[in-house]
C-alpha cells in the first residue's frame, strides 16, 4: 500500500512545475482528477483483500451482476477514443462520424445473438477456454493468445498515444510523464485489485461519463431551444462543407468497397475483442450475461446519440468562440484546421463553451479516468492470455498450480505496463488512428470465426480452426501493412499495394472458408472425436450444466 501513496505523491510532485509551464491547467480538472485517483485507490485497496485466487484475479470471482457488468462493458467501450474520436469525426464530417458509431454499436446484436450466453456457459476465464473446450488445447490457446496479444498491443498503443496527447493538453503535463502516470496507475489497479478493481473503476467511470455526456448534450440542446433541427441548421450554415455535412461524404465516396469492409470489421470485431469477451466471465450465469448485453448496448447506444448532439453542437457553437482556435495574423481561422489541440478536442472545448471551467474540468478528469480504466482492462486480458493460455495450459500443460499461474499473471501485468509505456513513447509522433481499425479487423478475421464455428458447427476441427484462424490473422495484418495507412504513411513508400485500407471484406470470408475447407477434409481420428464431442458441448452451452466460475469459493 505504501507504493500507492508514493505514486500519488509522485503525481502531485510532477504536476506542479508542468502546470505552471504551459498555463493550460485547470484547477477544477486537477482537483476532480485527484479525487478520482484517491477514490479508485480505495477501491483497489478493498479489492486487493478480495483477490486471492486466479478466478478472483481474472473474473472478480464471477460475482459481478448483469447490470454492473453492463456498465463496465459500456465503460470499456466508451473509451476516450470513441467519445472524443466520434465527436471529433462528426465535427469534421458530420454524417460520416455516425457511420463509425453505428458500426461499433452493431457489434452488440452480433455478440448477443451468436456468442454471449454460450460463452458464459462454456468458458472459465477467457474465450480461449471456449475454443479449447472440444478442440485441442495447444493450437487453440496459441492461436487465441497470438491474436489477443496483437490486438491488445495495437489497442494499447492507440490508447496510450491518444491519452498522452490528451493529457498534455488538458493538464499541461509533459507527454512522457503523462504516459508514465497512465502506465503506473494501470499497473496498480490490475496488480493489486485484479478484475474486481478494474471492473469497479470502469463502472464508476461509465456512470460519470454518462452523466457528463448527458449534461453536455442537454446544455447544447438548451442553447437551441431544445430543437435539434435548429442546431443542425446552424451547424450547416457555419460549416465549410455546408449541406454536405448531412450526407455520406469523403469517408465513403472515394471507395464504397472500403466502407463496406470497414463496416464488416466493426460489426464482427466486437465479438472477437479479448478484453470485452473476458467481461462475460465476471457474471454468474448465462442469464446475467444476457442482462449485461442489454444494459451495455443501451448505455452505448444512448451515449452515441449524445455524441452526435455533441459533435453537431460543437460545429454550431465553437465557431462563436475564436479563443478556442489558433488565429491567423488577421484574426481569422479555419474551424477544421485551427482548433486548439486538433479536432479530437471538439467535445472538450464545447464543454468549456457551454458549461464553463467546472464542466471542462469534470470531463477532462473523466476522460483521463477512461483511458486508465480501458488500459487496465486490456492489460488484464493480456495477462490472461500469457498466464492462463500460454503458461498454464501450453507450457505447463495444466500441471501448474494456481499460485504459479497467479504469479505469472502478475509479472505479465508489470511487463505489459512497462511495454505500454515504452510503446506509447516510441509511437508518440506516429499517426496511430489505423491501429484500432486493425485491431478490429484482426478480431473479426481471427478470433470471431474460430469462436463462432467452434461453438455452433459440429464439423469444426482443430486443423480447420487453426489454419483458418491464422490465415485470417495473417491476411488482415499483411493487408493493412501493405495499405496506404502503413505502407505509404508510415514507411514512406510511394504507392500502396493493397487497393484500400480495410481488409474485412476479404479476410473474414477467407477465415470462414478456410476453417470449413480444412475441417471437412480432416479425416483424422482426432477430428472424429472432436465432432463427437460437439454433442456434449451443445448440452453445456445450451443448459449451462457443469459450467465453472462463480461457484468456486
DSSP string, 293-314: HHHHHHHHHHHHHHHHHHHHHH
* Of the candidates 131, 56, 70, the residue with the CA atom closest to the CA atom of residue 289: 70
Q: Does 459 bind another protein (CB under 8 A)?
A: no
Report H helices in 106-136.
Answer: 107-110, 116-122, 127-131
Q: Which stretch binds another protein (CB under 8 A): 102-110, 218-226, 362-370, 492-500?
A: 102-110
- Nearest approach, Cβ of 510 to another protein (angstroms)? 19
Among 246, 336, 411, 425, binds another protein (CB under 8 A): 246
Nearer to another protein, 248 or 509 (CB): 248
Nearer to another protein, 211 or 233 (CB): 233
- Nearest approach, Cβ of 249 to another protein (angstroms)? 8
Q: How far is CA 144 from CA 66, 112, 329, in A?
A: 26, 21, 55
* Of the candidates 249, 233, 211, the residue with the CA atom closest to the CA atom of residue 93: 249
Alpha-carbon gap, residue 309 to 232, rounded angstroms: 9
Q: Does 271 bind another protein (CB under 8 A)?
A: no
- Nearest approach, Cβ of 307 to another protein (angstroms)? 10
Nearer to another protein, 422 or 536 (CB): 536
Alpha-carbon gap, residue 550 to 527, rounded angstroms: 32
Q: Which stretch binds another protein (CB under 8 A): 110-118, 147-155, 327-335, 412-420?
A: 110-118
Nearer to another protein, 114 or 415 (CB): 114
Among 297, 351, 352, 447, binds another protein (CB under 8 A): 297
Secondary structure (3-state) at 243: helix
Nearer to another protein, 40 or 258 (CB): 258
Q: Does 551 bind another protein (CB under 8 A)?
A: no
Residues 306-325 that bind another protein (CB under 8 A): 308
Alpha-carbon gap, residue 148 to 272, rounded angstroms: 9
Q: Does 110 bind another protein (CB under 8 A)?
A: yes
Alpha-carbon gap, residue 433 to 52, rounded angstroms: 38
Q: Does 509 bind another protein (CB under 8 A)?
A: no
Alpha-carbon gap, residue 347 to 157, rounded angstroms: 22
Q: Does 226 bind another protein (CB under 8 A)?
A: no
Q: Does 224 bind another protein (CB under 8 A)?
A: no
Alpha-carbon gap, residue 443 to 168, rounded angstroms: 31
Task: Give ∠ CA 546-551-553 in degrees, rounded to 5.
Answer: 140
Beta carbons within 8 Å of 399's beta carbon, 6+ residues apart: none
Q: Does 250 bind another protein (CB under 8 A)?
A: no
Give how many residues touch another protein by CB under 8 A. Answer: 53
* Of the candidates 247, 336, 265, 158, the residue with the CA atom closest to the CA atom of residue 500: 265
Among 33, 57, 108, 506, binds another protein (CB under 8 A): 108
- Nearest approach, Cβ of 104 to another protein (angstroms)? 10
Buried b (16+ CB within 10 A) or exposed e, 82-112: bbbbbbbbbbbbbbbbbbbbebbbbbbebbb
Nearer to another protein, 264 or 511 (CB): 264
Helices 175-223 and 66-77, packing angle to 10 deg? 110
Among 14, 95, 175, 457, binds another protein (CB under 8 A): 95
The dihedrals phi and psi of 237, each to the nearest 5 degrees, come to -70, -25
Q: Does 517 bind another protein (CB under 8 A)?
A: no
Q: Does 546 bind another protein (CB under 8 A)?
A: yes
* Of the candidates 359, 36, 45, 63, the residue with the CA atom closest to the CA atom of residue 205: 36
Q: Which stretch binds another protein (CB under 8 A): 111-119, 148-156, 182-190, 328-336?
A: 111-119
Alpha-carbon gap, residue 418 to 412, rounded angstroms: 10
Nearer to another protein, 33 or 268 (CB): 268
Among 62, 263, 272, 464, binds another protein (CB under 8 A): 263
* Of the candidates 416, 415, 395, the residue with the CA atom closest to the CA atom of residue 405: 395
Q: Output the nine-digit C-alpha cell for 298.
A: 443501451
- Nearest approach, Cβ of 322 to another protein (angstroms)? 25
Binding site for another protein (CB under 8 A): 94-95, 98-99, 101-103, 105-106, 108-110, 112-114, 228-229, 232-233, 236, 243-244, 246-248, 252-253, 256-257, 259-260, 263, 267, 287, 290-291, 293-294, 297-298, 301, 304-305, 308, 535-536, 538-539, 542-546
Amino acid at each position: 500500500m505504501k507504493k500507492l501513496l508514493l505514486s500519488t505523491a509522485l503525481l502531485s510532485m510532477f504536476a506542479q512545475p508542468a502546470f505552471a509551464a504551459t498555463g493550460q491547467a485547470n484547477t477544477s480538472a486537477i482537483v476532480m482528477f485527484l479525487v478520482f485517483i484517491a477514490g479508485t485507490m480505495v477501491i483497489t485497496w478493498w479489492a486487493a483483500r478480495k483477490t486471492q485466487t486466479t478466478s478472483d484475479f481474472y473474473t472478480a470471482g464471477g460475482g459481478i451482476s448483469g447490470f454492473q457488468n453492463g456498465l463496465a462493458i459500456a465503460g470499456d467501450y466508451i473509451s476516450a477514443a470513441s467519445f472524443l474520436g466520434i465527436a471529433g469525426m462528426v465535427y469534421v464530417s458530420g454524417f460520416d462520424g455516425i457511420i463509425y458509431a453505428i458500426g461499433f454499436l452493431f457489434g452488440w446484436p452480433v455478440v448477443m445473438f451468436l456468442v454471449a450466453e454460450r460463452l458464459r456457459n462454456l468458458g472459465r476465464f477467457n474465450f480461449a477456454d471456449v475454443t479449447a473446450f472440444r478442440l485441442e488445447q495447444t493450437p487453440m490457446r496459441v492461436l487465441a493468445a497470438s491474436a489477443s496479444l496483437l490486438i491488445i498491443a495495437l489497442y494499447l498503443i492507440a490508447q496510450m498515444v491518444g491519452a498522452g496527447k490528451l493529457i498534455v493538453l488538458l493538464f499541461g503535463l509533459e507527454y512522457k510523464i503523462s504516459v508514465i502516470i497512465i502506465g503506473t496507475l494501470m499497473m496498480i489497479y490490475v496488480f493489486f485489485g485484479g478484475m474486481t478493481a478494474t471492473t469497479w473503476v470502469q463502472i464508476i467511470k461509465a456512470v460519470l461519463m454518462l452523466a457528463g455526456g448527458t449534461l453536455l448534450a442537454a446544455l447544447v440542446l438548451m442553447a437551441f431551444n431544445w430543437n435539434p433541427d435548429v442546431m443542425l441548421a446552424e451547424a450547416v450554415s457555419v460549416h465549410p462543407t455546408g449541406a454536405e455535412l448531412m450526407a455520406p461524404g469523403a469517408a465513403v465516396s472515394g471507395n464504397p468497397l472500403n466502407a463496406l469492409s470497414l463496416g464488416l470489421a466493426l460489426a464482427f470485431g466486437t465479438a472477437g475483442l479479448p478484453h470485452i469477451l473476458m467481461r462475460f466471465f465476471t457474471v454468474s450465469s448465462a442469464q446475467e450475461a444476457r442482462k449485461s448485453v442489454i444494459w451495455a448496448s443501451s448505455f452505448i447506444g444512448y451515449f452515441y446519440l449524445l455524441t452526435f448532439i455533441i459533435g453537431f453542437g460543437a460545429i454550431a457553437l465553437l465557431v462563436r468562440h475564436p479563443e478556442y482556435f489558433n488565429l491567423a495574423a488577421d484574426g481569422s481561422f479555419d474551424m477544421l484546421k485551427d482548433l486548439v489541440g486538433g479536432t479530437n478536442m471538439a467535445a472538450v472545448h464545447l464543454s468549456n463553451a457551454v458549461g464553463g471551467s467546472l464542466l471542462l474540468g469534470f470531463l477532462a478528469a473523466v476522460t483521463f479516468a477512461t483511458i486508465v480504466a480501458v488500459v487496465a482492462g486490456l492489460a488484464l486480458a493480456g495477462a490472461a492470455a500469457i498466464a492462463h493460455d500460454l503458461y498454464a495450459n501450453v507450457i505447463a500443460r495444466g500441471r501448474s498450480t494456481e499460485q504459479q499461474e497467479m504469479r505469472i499473471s502478475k509479472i505479465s501485468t508489470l511487463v505489459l505496463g512497462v511495454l505500454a509505456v515504452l510503446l506509447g513513447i516510441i509511437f508518440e509522433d506516429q499517426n496511430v488512428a489505423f491501429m484500432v481499425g486493425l485491431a478490429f479487423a484482426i478480431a473479426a478475421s481471427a478470433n470471431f470465426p474460430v469462436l463462432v464455428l467452434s461453438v455452433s458447427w459440429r464439423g469444426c476441427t482443430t486443423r480447420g480452426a487453426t489454419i483458418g484462424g491464422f490465415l485470417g490473422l495473417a491476411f488482415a495484418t499483411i493487408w493493412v501493412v501493405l495499405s496506404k495507412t502503413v505502407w505509404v504513411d508510415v514507411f514512406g513508400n510511394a504507392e500502396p499495394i493493397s487497393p484500400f485500407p480495410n481488409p474485412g471484406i476479404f479476410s473474414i470470408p477467407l477465415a470462414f472458408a478456410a476453417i470449413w475447407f480444412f475441417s471437412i477434409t480432416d479425416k483424422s481420428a482426432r477430428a472424429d472425436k472432436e465432432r463427437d464431442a460437439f454433442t456434449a458441448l451443445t448440452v453445456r452451452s445450451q443448459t449451462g450444466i457443469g459450467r465453472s466460475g462463480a461457484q468456486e469459493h
